[in-house]
Amino acid sequence: MEEREGGFRKETVERLLRLHFRDGRTRVNGDALLLMAELLKVFVREAAARAARQAQAEDLEKVDIEHVEKVLPQLLLDF
């Protein structure tokens, strides 16, 4: 797994998921946790990149909330 500046910690991912489980017996195995960490990383980067592209399409250098709002529907459909 590539080590970059950002990335979700395994522990954080586990707690995030466990928070919403309906059954107390549900567990997540190690590999699945690592994959979920990757998935979340991709999710955040996609959201950021798409919002940035939207801002750039509007000839702006600063990415604001409206840009996130514009790209949000398609982002959620893709995940």
By CB under 8 A, name the binding residues for another protein.
Answer: 1, 4-9, 12, 15-29, 31-32, 34-36, 38-45, 47-49, 51-53, 55-56, 61-65, 67-68, 72, 76-79
**Rounded Cα gap, residues 38 and 59, in angstroms:** 31
Give the nearest distance from C-beta 27 to another protein in angstroms. 5
CB 47, CB 75: distance < 8 Å: yes
Give the nearest distance from C-beta 54 to another protein in angstroms. 10
Greatest Cα pair distance, the chain, in angstroms, is 51
Give the nearest distance from C-beta 2 to another protein in angstroms. 10
CB 72, CB 51: distance < 8 Å: no
